[in-house]
Amino acid sequence: MKPRLEQYKIGITAGWQNADIIDFNNVYVASASDTAATINAKLSQSDIYAVVFQPGIYNLEESIKVVKDGTVLLGLGMATLIPTNGTAAIEVGDLADVRIAGVLL
């Protein structure tokens, strides 16, 4: 689930009533052995809306490029993204509702 933006909120939202569901068929689970090119290829597919990074050290030869509105990048454990060529670890274009959380850059 991906919570929608709430402003001027007090208290909880019971039962995830204000969230969008992302089917796990639309999620790519990355491992530290994946290259940036592999992850970027998955992100460019029309049916992939999220990448979950497993714990590990990701040595990236190029930037992870977010190209779609609503994309989620979520790291679990200590997912560490290290650019090896002096580039940015993650590039996000002029997009709406992109979420990046749980990654160490």
Q: Is the pLDDT of residue 1 over 70?
A: no
Hey, where are the domains in the chain? 22-104
pTM assigned to the model = 0.85
Q: What is the pLDDT of residue 9?
A: 79
pLDDT digits (tens, 9 = 90+) for 31-88: 999 999 999 999 999 898 899 999 999 999 999 999 999 999 999 999 999 999 999 9
Contact, 99 vs 72, CB < 8 A? yes
